Amino acid sequence: MKKNTKEQSRREFLGKASLGLAGVALFPALTLKSEMKNFPSAGNELQNNRLQNLKYNLNMVHHNPGEPPFDTKYNDPGYLLKQGFNGQIPKIFLPCAISYNSYDAELMTVGSKEYSEAVEYAKKLDRLIEAAKKEQMPLFPFTDLLVVPKSIQEKYGKEMMADKKESVESVLGGTKLTVSILQKRTEEILRAQIQAIFERFPDLDGLTTRYGETYLHEFPGYAGGSPATNPTEHIALINILREEVCVKRNKKLFYRTWGFGQFHTSPSYYLEVTNAVEPHPNLIFSIKHVQGDFVRLHPFNPCLGRGKHQQIVEISCNPAGLYGKNAHPYYIGKGVIEGWEEFAWLKSEGPALCLRDLLKCPQFVGIWTWARGDGWAGPYITNEFWVDLNIQVINQFYKEPWLSEEVLFDKVAGQRFGVGGENLKKLRDLCLLSASAVMHGQTTVHATIRDWWCRDEYFSAIDLKPVVKADKSREVLDEKVDAVRMWKEIERLAREIHLPNQVDQEFMEVSSNYGRIKFQIIEQIWKMQLLAAQSEINKSALDTGAMKKCINEYDRLWTEWRKLNSDYACCPTLYRDDVQKYCAFPPFKEVLVNYRKECKL
């Protein structure tokens, strides 16, 4: 029998699905092989056979590069310990807190600006480490590889680079360093760096590697870049770090596979690299749960549950900065633990469809959640209601993975928020709706579009010509209408739910209102962009009558949104349509100006 492609599976699925009614999810609930109800036998089997493998429950706050740190309880090691986390991954720059005098005394002379700044930064890190040690919270800092002072780049850069070609990695804020770990000089400097880090900070429990994206906004006097961009280099880099961190110093090494190559997404690439490295109890590979970035409409990562090494799973509660950053409801617990609705046709090629499936895989030893951060800029929040809900459901799964996601949700809602009875039922309905309403409101299952049109706090001018060329304009517009209906249902549920904490109550209602307006604005953006795409592709006049209606509604919604923001102190900051940062398209306002001119508005 001919194997169906993903596109064929999607068409078959969409052919059977129908648009939901107001307040009803667009697609029916899924029954995945991984969904496990609370049957005692299943729970006992999991407890007896696999739960001993779960060792790591880690948490990180990824502060926005170049901005003040987030003011959040998730920075506090004492709070994390009370929540059941057993490791903290602070985003710090260890290579910028050491001198390289043991390697070359001329690089950072005592008393120089470079040396003095490194000494002061090291003192700051001492306070962070001391606070964690006081709470007995293990630290595994997120450490960029490779970051060095510009003096090293100037003196040894050519020896470190050799014939290395320019890579696709992203380096911002400092100077790009294009090097290869296969060069003797690069290896020497890396080993010297690891030695200096652990000599200066002996209380660190290990390291978490970061490469592929290096953001040096706080350290413009440094250069950075990945020394490994192909399998041969990764094998060499891992073996060096394994020796220096795991073997010599008996510290943990969490080697992150994320980057702009295939290490993160291709099982064959992953196995080619990791099979060439001997396992070690202190060596763990960290892999995002998505086959790609933290984006919807991507399969569960097929690299998970493979190979001979331990693995932890990365989960962001602010996925890729794409879905509101908890400024409005967006519940990830059901999708991550038991599978998203699109997994009915979007199958992973790996041994697991979702987090729960990994319980059968001996490689799975833990979870790493990102509580805050992931992306750039805003929207900014002052209440962590939705953050807490997402984090705590994943956290509860780590503690009791034999329970269904629904039971985990109920426990968290009861213990964290004091919600029960009819309020609990409505809160769950709201959360499940949000997972569907966000996805169908912001992207589409009917065509392939660029995810990054609406990242962080920016609305850009999404290109919807692929939708028009696929003759899916009607289906996509219906999808947006249905998403708005779901948001109105979310807004209604938020008003009907009664939380014990009045601060959370107000934020729940305001943020749900915020989300409804946001996605009504997005609906108008999609309508306008489809009108423009149809005019361009069909070489016909723009339908100015329809465009005027969209512009007027767009303006009305922005007025409503601004009023919400001015009326409620708890309201998150608003999006912007006049600028963009790392989006796929220009700011939406740039094309809107042209639409206004054509419509004589």
pLDDT, residue 261, reads 81
Distance CA 390, CA 371 (A): 9
- Beta carbons within 8 Å of 530's beta carbon, 6+ residues apart: 464, 467, 468, 473, 476, 477
Q: DSSP strand E in 78-164: where?
A: 87-88, 142-144, 147-149
Mean residue pLDDT across the chain? 91
Average pLDDT over residues 405-417: 96
- Beta carbons within 8 Å of 422's beta carbon, 6+ residues apart: none
Distance CA 552, CA 284 (A): 54
Strands 147-149 and 222-224: antiparallel
pLDDT in tens, 184-200: 999 999 999 999 999 99
* Residue type at 545 in one-letter notation: G
| The pLDDT of residue 365 is above 60 | yes
Quick one: pLDDT band at residue 203, thresholds 50, 70, 90? very high
pLDDT in tens, 349-364: 999 999 999 999 999 9
Question: Do the Cβ atoms of 254 and 279 come closer than 8 Å?
Answer: no
* Total Cβ atoms within 10 A of residue 301: 27
Quick one: pLDDT band at residue 164, thresholds 50, 70, 90? low
pLDDT, residue 162, reads 63
Of 516, 518, 524, 510, residue with least CA distance to 571: 510
- Beta carbons within 8 Å of 105's beta carbon, 6+ residues apart: none
| The pLDDT of residue 167 is above 90 | no
Distance CA 79, CA 528 (A): 47
Question: Do the Cβ atoms of 395 and 82 come closer than 8 Å?
Answer: no
pLDDT in tens, 65-79: 999 999 999 999 999
Q: DSSP strand E in 203-308: where?
A: 206-210, 213-215, 222-224, 252-256, 283-288
Average pLDDT over residues 282-305: 97
* Total Cβ atoms within 10 A of residue 212: 23
3-state helix, strand, coil in the chain (%, to 5): 50, 10, 40
Gap between the terminal Cα atoms of the chain = 58
Average pLDDT over residues 154-175: 77
Per DSSP, the residues of 428-482 read HHHHHHHHHHHHHHHS-SSS---GGGG-TTB-B----HHHHHTT-HHHHHHHHHH
pLDDT in tens, 264-283: 999 999 999 999 999 999 99
Residues 584/589/593/595 CA torsion (nearest 10 deg): 60
Pair of tokens at residue 8: 């064929």
Domain boundary assignment for the chain: 6-29+422-598
Question: Do the Cβ atoms of 283 and 242 come closer than 8 Å?
Answer: yes
| The pLDDT of residue 30 is above 50 | no
Question: Do the Cβ atoms of 286 and 270 come closer than 8 Å?
Answer: no
pLDDT, residue 166, reads 57
pLDDT in tens, 428-449: 999 999 999 999 999 999 999 9
Better pLDDT: 20 or 378: 378
Backbone angles phi, psi at 171, to 5 degrees: -125, 120
Average pLDDT over residues 26-42: 36
pLDDT, residue 455, reads 94
Containing 521, the helix (H) or strand (E) segment is: helix 502-538
Helix 385-399 crosses helix 405-417 at what angle (to 10 degrees)? 130
Percent of the chain with pLDDT over 70: 90
* Total Cβ atoms within 10 A of residue 471: 10
Give the residue carrying structure tokens 């969490």: 254
Better pLDDT: 552 or 225: 552
> What is this structure's pTM?
0.93
* Total Cβ atoms within 10 A of residue 437: 29
Average pLDDT over residues 194-222: 93
Better pLDDT: 346 or 566: 566
